Amino acid sequence: MTAFPLPPVRGKILENASLAPYTWFRVGGPADALFLPADEEDLQAFLTALDPAVPVTVLGVGSNVIVRDGGIRGVVIRLMGKYWGQIEALDGITMQARAGALDLSVAKAAAQNGVRGLEFLSGIPGSIGGATRTNAGCYGRELRDTLVALHGFRRDGSKAAYRGPGKPGAQPEAHFSYRHTDLPDDLIVTRLILEGNDTDAPEKILADIEQLQARRAETQPIKEKTSGSTFANPDPPGTPDQRSAWKLIDAAGCRGLKVGGAQVSPKHCNFLINTGDATAADLEALGELVRRRVLETQGVELRWEVRRIGQLASETA
Ligand SMILES: Cc1cc2nc3c(=O)[nH]c(=O)nc-3n(C[C@H](O)[C@H](O)[C@H](O)COP(=O)(O)OP(=O)(O)OC[C@H]3O[C@@H](n4cnc5c(N)ncnc54)[C@H](O)[C@@H]3O)c2cc1C
């Protein structure tokens, strides 16, 4: 039983729910309560009724987070299931997706509707809600390049809407930078309108998506328990002579380095992997060791790209 009252819902609430199964790293302690809302109305009613003192954290598919071993206090919300995965083609080159839709599903749905320009999403193994928070991108395109508008709720249940960068409209404009957005921290994104940049034959776009995925599988440990790029590149894309995090980590001699069950991937050294029995503390300690070695030997202070959330085990003991 949680220390705070939980409003009635139509979706599901799991108390003291382990979060490890919901993250790519498969590590992390429990949430006091895990809420899986049935739909937007259920989410809004819950947020409005929940004691404002109770912290709320939203998780996508956990492909960019380390949930610490002590878990997350308050309520964790996941927008998963059939309703939250809905995607539809609007007119022309515009698509609408609910926040729980996988990036790959959005890329494929766009392709099937003959919309070009969203193929890059097939390389990102997260949800489209998570992609908004992280301004996810690859192959020269980022979420911000495609965003027409987004909708969601603030922590108090109020509705919020933003227009994409440079798009017309009365709503405030959402601002993004490299793997970052300045949208309010308490915003839960529920729905997005995205646009491609051209039309083409669906089979051609789908073939390009397959190629992108094959390229990924060759260069990244995508079958491992990982969280993608651990550190942001020190220079954003497009910078002349861009310094990349993996090269700095390699030059610092960290490829294959281990702490407990955590290892710097021998295949792509900006990826950390859980070799089987890693704790969140192992992963975080390894990341900090890599940062120290890169600073000492390469003179560059790496910035965590993976979000570390929740409490240390020692904070809950
Ligand atoms: C093998 C691998 C390869 C990867 N390659 C890339 C890549 O090429 N490019 C790239 O950019 N990333 C990459 N990533 C990282 C990751 O997939 C992206 O950051 C992705 O956008 C995270 O989405 P998610 O649903 O997993 O979010 P989560 O990891 O669950 O959460 C990430 C953040 O988003 C927030 N969030 C999630 N959902 C919502 C929502 N509905 N509303 C508001 N905030 C929300 C969370 O609170 C958290 O702060 C890779 C990861 C892996 C494992």
Residue minimizing CA distance to atom 10 of ligand 1 = 136
Q: Are 151 and 160 in contact (CB under 8 A)?
A: yes
Residue minimizing CA distance to atom 52 of ligand 1 = 228
How far does residue 251's CA lie from ligand 1's centre (Å)?
A: 27
Residue 288 has which token pair? 């900090």
**Position 170, amino acid:** A
Averaged pLDDT score across all residues of the chain = 96
Ligand 1 atom at minimum distance from 136 CA:
11
Q: Can you list the alpha helix ranges (DSSP code H) found in 165-221?
A: 202-219
Phi (first) and psi of residue 104, to 5 degrees: -60, -40
**pLDDT for 119-147, tens place per residue?**
999 999 999 999 999 999 998 899 999 99
pLDDT at 222 over 90: no
Residue minimizing CA distance to atom 12 of ligand 1 = 136
**pLDDT for 2-55, tens place per residue?**
999 999 999 999 999 999 999 999 999 999 999 999 999 999 999 999 999 999
Residues composing the chain: 317
DSSP, res 55? -
How far does residue 305's CA lie from ligand 1's centre (Å)?
A: 10
Angle between helices 202-219 and 103-112 (to 10 degrees): 150
Q: Are 137 and 143 in contact (CB under 8 A)?
A: yes
**Beta strands at 180-181 and 176-177: parallel, antiparallel or unpaired:** antiparallel
Residue 210's closest CA among 313, 107, 296? 107
Distances (CA, A) of 18 to 250, 279, 284: 34, 14, 19
Please tell me whether residue 66 adopts helix, strand or coil conformation: strand
Domains in the chain, ordered, with CATH? 12-78 (3.30.43.10), 85-217 (3.30.465.10), 221-316 (3.90.78.10)
Ligand 1 atom at minimum distance from 142 CA:
11
Return the pLDDT at 242: 85
Q: Are 50 and 91 in contact (CB under 8 A)?
A: no
pLDDT at 236 over 80: no
Phi (first) and psi of residue 269, to 5 degrees: -80, 10
Return the pLDDT at 212: 94
**Beta strands at 72-78 and 56-59: parallel, antiparallel or unpaired:** parallel
Ligand 1 atom at minimum distance from 221 CA:
1
Q: Which run of H or of E encompasses 97? A: strand 94-98
Instruction: Give 288's pLDDT tier (boundaries 50, 70, 90).
Output: very high
pLDDT at 317 over 80: no
* Biggest alpha carbon–alpha carbon distance for the chain: 58
Q: Can you list the alpha helix ranges (DSSP code H) found in the chain?
A: 40-49, 103-112, 128-134, 202-219, 245-251, 280-298, 313-316
Torsion angle (degrees, nearest 10) of CA 289, 290, 293, 299: -130
Whole-angstrom distance, CA of residue 118 vs CA of residue 104: 9
Return the pLDDT at 209: 97
Q: What is the mean pLDDT of residues 174-188?
A: 95
Residue minimizing CA distance to atom 43 of ligand 1 = 188
Percent of the chain with pLDDT over 90: 91
pLDDT at 198 over 80: yes
Return the pLDDT at 24: 97
Q: Residues with Cβ within 6 A of ligand 1?
A: 24, 58-65, 79, 99, 123-127, 129-131, 133-134, 136-138, 187-189, 220, 222, 226-228, 307
Catalytic residues: 179, 229, 305
Phi (first) and psi of residue 108, to 5 degrees: -70, -40
Residue 179's closest CA among 303, 273, 283? 303
